[in-house]
Protein backbone atom coordinates (compact mmCIF):
# COMPACT_ATOMS: atom_id res chain seq x y z
CA UNK A 1 0.00 0.00 0.00
CA UNK A 2 1.37 3.42 -0.97
CA UNK A 3 2.47 5.63 1.88
CA UNK A 4 0.16 8.58 2.54
CA UNK A 5 1.41 12.02 1.59
CA UNK A 6 2.48 14.02 4.62
CA UNK A 7 1.01 17.20 3.09
CA UNK A 8 -1.68 17.43 0.45
CA UNK A 9 -1.00 19.74 -2.53
CA UNK A 10 -3.66 22.42 -2.78
CA UNK A 11 -4.76 25.65 -4.40
CA UNK A 12 -6.81 28.17 -2.46
CA UNK A 13 -9.95 29.46 -4.16
CA UNK A 14 -9.98 32.81 -2.39
CA UNK A 15 -12.32 35.78 -2.50
CA UNK A 16 -15.19 37.62 -0.86
CA UNK A 17 -18.67 36.08 -0.51
CA UNK A 18 -20.40 36.38 -3.88
CA UNK A 19 -17.15 36.65 -5.85
CA UNK A 20 -17.94 33.46 -7.77
CA UNK A 21 -15.67 30.94 -6.01
CA UNK A 22 -18.35 28.32 -5.53
CA UNK A 23 -19.50 28.46 -9.15
CA UNK A 24 -16.00 27.87 -10.46
CA UNK A 25 -15.27 25.25 -7.82
CA UNK A 26 -18.31 23.24 -8.87
CA UNK A 27 -17.19 23.36 -12.50
CA UNK A 28 -13.58 22.49 -11.76
CA UNK A 29 -14.43 19.53 -9.53
CA UNK A 30 -15.84 17.84 -12.65
CA UNK A 31 -12.46 18.19 -14.36
CA UNK A 32 -10.15 15.19 -13.76
CA UNK A 33 -7.26 16.18 -11.53
CA UNK A 34 -9.14 18.56 -9.22
CA UNK A 35 -11.05 18.03 -5.96
CA UNK A 36 -13.10 21.00 -4.75
CA UNK A 37 -13.78 21.20 -1.03
CA UNK A 38 -15.98 23.99 0.31
CA UNK A 39 -16.32 24.57 4.04
CA UNK A 40 -19.70 26.19 3.40
CA UNK A 41 -20.97 23.01 1.76
CA UNK A 42 -19.50 20.91 4.58
CA UNK A 43 -21.20 23.06 7.22
CA UNK A 44 -24.58 22.78 5.46
CA UNK A 45 -24.28 18.98 5.28
CA UNK A 46 -23.77 18.57 9.02
CA UNK A 47 -26.57 16.96 10.99
CA UNK A 48 -28.56 20.02 12.18
CA UNK A 49 -29.23 18.30 15.50
CA UNK A 50 -25.56 18.20 16.48
CA UNK A 51 -24.00 20.81 18.74
CA UNK A 52 -21.40 21.65 16.07
CA UNK A 53 -24.11 22.42 13.51
CA UNK A 54 -26.05 24.57 15.98
CA UNK A 55 -22.94 26.60 16.84
CA UNK A 56 -22.10 27.12 13.17
CA UNK A 57 -25.65 28.19 12.39
CA UNK A 58 -25.54 30.89 15.06
CA UNK A 59 -22.30 32.37 13.73
CA UNK A 60 -23.57 32.31 10.14
CA UNK A 61 -26.83 34.00 11.08
CA UNK A 62 -24.84 36.88 12.53
CA UNK A 63 -22.53 37.11 9.52
CA UNK A 64 -19.54 36.15 11.66
CA UNK A 65 -16.71 33.69 11.00
CA UNK A 66 -16.92 30.26 12.61
CA UNK A 67 -14.10 29.92 15.22
CA UNK A 68 -10.80 28.72 13.76
CA UNK A 69 -10.33 25.52 15.75
CA UNK A 70 -13.90 24.36 15.08
CA UNK A 71 -13.61 25.14 11.36
CA UNK A 72 -10.29 23.32 10.94
CA UNK A 73 -11.41 20.30 12.97
CA UNK A 74 -14.57 19.82 10.89
CA UNK A 75 -12.68 20.46 7.65
CA UNK A 76 -9.95 17.94 8.42
CA UNK A 77 -12.38 15.23 9.54
CA UNK A 78 -14.38 15.71 6.34
CA UNK A 79 -11.28 15.67 4.13
CA UNK A 80 -9.91 12.50 5.71
CA UNK A 81 -13.35 10.90 5.37
CA UNK A 82 -13.33 11.68 1.63
CA UNK A 83 -9.82 10.26 1.33
CA UNK A 84 -10.71 7.09 3.27
CA UNK A 85 -13.73 6.59 0.99
CA UNK A 86 -11.42 7.00 -2.04
CA UNK A 87 -13.39 9.99 -3.26
CA UNK A 88 -10.37 12.26 -2.82
CA UNK A 89 -7.13 10.86 -4.27
CA UNK A 90 -4.23 12.96 -2.95
CA UNK A 91 -1.71 11.41 -5.38
CA UNK A 92 -3.80 12.39 -8.39
CA UNK A 93 -5.95 15.38 -7.44
CA UNK A 94 -5.09 18.96 -6.58
CA UNK A 95 -7.21 20.14 -3.67
CA UNK A 96 -9.21 23.30 -4.36
CA UNK A 97 -9.92 24.79 -0.95
CA UNK A 98 -12.90 27.14 -0.85
CA UNK A 99 -13.68 28.92 2.42
CA UNK A 100 -10.56 27.85 4.27
CA UNK A 101 -8.29 29.36 5.43
CA UNK A 102 -10.23 32.49 6.34
CA UNK A 103 -7.83 33.82 8.94
CA UNK A 104 -4.06 33.86 9.37
CA UNK A 105 -4.47 31.51 12.33
CA UNK A 106 -6.25 29.01 10.06
CA UNK A 107 -3.34 29.28 7.61
CA UNK A 108 -1.04 28.20 10.40
CA UNK A 109 -3.35 25.44 11.63
CA UNK A 110 -3.65 23.73 8.24
CA UNK A 111 -0.02 24.15 7.22
CA UNK A 112 1.01 20.87 8.84
CA UNK A 113 -0.95 18.84 6.29
CA UNK A 114 -1.82 21.22 3.44
CA UNK A 115 0.85 22.35 0.95
CA UNK A 116 -0.49 25.52 -0.68
CA UNK A 117 0.87 25.76 -4.23
CA UNK A 118 -1.33 28.60 -5.51
CA UNK A 119 -3.83 31.20 -4.33
CA UNK A 120 -6.51 32.06 -6.90
CA UNK A 121 -7.74 35.45 -5.76
CA UNK A 122 -11.19 36.14 -7.18
CA UNK A 123 -11.54 39.90 -7.50
CA UNK A 124 -14.89 41.60 -8.02
CA UNK A 125 -14.72 45.34 -7.50
CA UNK A 126 -18.49 45.88 -7.67
CA UNK A 127 -19.94 45.40 -4.17
CA UNK A 128 -23.52 45.48 -5.44
CA UNK A 129 -22.80 42.65 -7.90
CA UNK A 130 -21.66 40.46 -5.02
CA UNK A 131 -24.65 41.40 -2.86
CA UNK A 132 -26.98 40.57 -5.77
CA UNK A 133 -25.27 37.22 -6.38
CA UNK A 134 -25.69 36.27 -2.73
CA UNK A 135 -29.34 37.36 -2.77
CA UNK A 136 -30.05 35.18 -5.83
CA UNK A 137 -28.14 32.29 -4.27
CA UNK A 138 -30.35 32.49 -1.20
CA UNK A 139 -33.43 31.99 -3.37
CA UNK A 140 -32.02 29.33 -5.69
CA UNK A 141 -30.29 27.21 -3.06
CA UNK A 142 -32.55 27.86 -0.07
CA UNK A 143 -29.78 29.32 2.06
CA UNK A 144 -31.35 31.36 4.88
CA UNK A 145 -28.01 32.83 6.00
CA UNK A 146 -27.83 34.57 2.60
CA UNK A 147 -31.35 36.00 2.67
CA UNK A 148 -30.68 39.00 4.91
CA UNK A 149 -28.99 41.91 3.16
CA UNK A 150 -27.72 43.34 6.44
CA UNK A 151 -26.08 40.01 7.31
CA UNK A 152 -24.63 39.80 3.79
CA UNK A 153 -23.06 43.24 4.08
CA UNK A 154 -21.66 42.34 7.50
CA UNK A 155 -20.11 39.19 6.01
CA UNK A 156 -18.44 41.31 3.33
CA UNK A 157 -17.12 43.68 6.00
CA UNK A 158 -15.86 40.72 8.04
CA UNK A 159 -14.07 39.39 4.97
CA UNK A 160 -12.27 42.68 4.42
CA UNK A 161 -11.27 42.96 8.07
CA UNK A 162 -10.40 39.36 9.01
CA UNK A 163 -9.81 37.40 5.81
CA UNK A 164 -7.88 39.65 3.42
CA UNK A 165 -4.78 39.45 5.71
CA UNK A 166 -4.52 35.82 4.51
CA UNK A 167 -3.10 37.25 1.27
CA UNK A 168 -0.16 38.65 3.22
CA UNK A 169 0.61 35.25 4.75
CA UNK A 170 1.51 33.62 1.45
CA UNK A 171 4.42 34.62 -0.84
CA UNK A 172 3.31 37.15 -3.49
CA UNK A 173 4.39 34.84 -6.31
CA UNK A 174 1.74 32.28 -5.26
CA UNK A 175 -1.12 34.79 -5.57
CA UNK A 176 -2.81 35.01 -8.97
CA UNK A 177 -5.67 37.45 -9.45
CA UNK A 178 -8.77 36.37 -11.34
CA UNK A 179 -11.29 38.91 -12.62
CA UNK A 180 -14.52 37.25 -11.50
CA UNK A 181 -16.85 39.89 -12.93
CA UNK A 182 -16.87 38.35 -16.42
CA UNK A 183 -18.81 35.47 -17.93
CA UNK A 184 -18.38 32.13 -16.10
CA UNK A 185 -16.59 30.67 -19.15
CA UNK A 186 -14.13 33.57 -19.17
CA UNK A 187 -13.47 33.18 -15.46
CA UNK A 188 -12.99 29.43 -15.93
CA UNK A 189 -10.42 30.03 -18.66
CA UNK A 190 -8.48 32.33 -16.34
CA UNK A 191 -8.57 29.74 -13.55
CA UNK A 192 -7.37 26.90 -15.77
CA UNK A 193 -4.52 29.01 -17.14
CA UNK A 194 -3.16 29.29 -13.60
CA UNK A 195 -4.12 25.83 -12.31
CA UNK A 196 -2.88 23.58 -15.11
CA UNK A 197 0.86 24.38 -14.62
CA UNK A 198 0.45 23.70 -10.87
CA UNK A 199 -1.36 20.44 -11.59
CA UNK A 200 1.41 19.30 -13.93
CA UNK A 201 4.14 20.24 -11.46
CA UNK A 202 2.36 18.53 -8.54
CA UNK A 203 1.69 15.26 -10.40
CA UNK A 204 4.37 14.95 -13.12
CA UNK A 205 3.78 11.22 -13.61
CA UNK A 206 0.08 11.58 -14.44
CA UNK A 207 -0.87 11.45 -18.10
Q: Would you list the domain boundaries of the chain?
A: 8-202
pLDDT of residue 144 exceeding 70, the answer is no
Region 103-122: what's the mean pLDDT? 94
Q: What is the pLDDT of residues 145-164, one digit of tens each?
A: 555 667 667 777 777 777 78
Class of domain 8-202: alpha beta
Residue 206 banded pLDDT, cuts 50, 70, 90: low
Is the full-model pTM beyond 0.75? yes
Query: Which residues sit opposite 13 in a β-bridge?
Result: 98, 120
Contacts 24+ apart (CB under 8 A), 74-78: 74/39, 74/42, 74/43, 74/46, 75/37, 75/39, 75/42, 75/100, 75/110, 76/110, 76/113, 78/37, 78/42
Amino acid sequence: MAKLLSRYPAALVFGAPGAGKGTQGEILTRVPGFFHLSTGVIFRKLDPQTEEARQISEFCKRGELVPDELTVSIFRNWLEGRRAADKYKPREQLLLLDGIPRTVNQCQLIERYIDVKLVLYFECSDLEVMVDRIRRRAVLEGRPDDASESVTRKRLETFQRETTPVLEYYPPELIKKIDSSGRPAEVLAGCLAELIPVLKASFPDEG
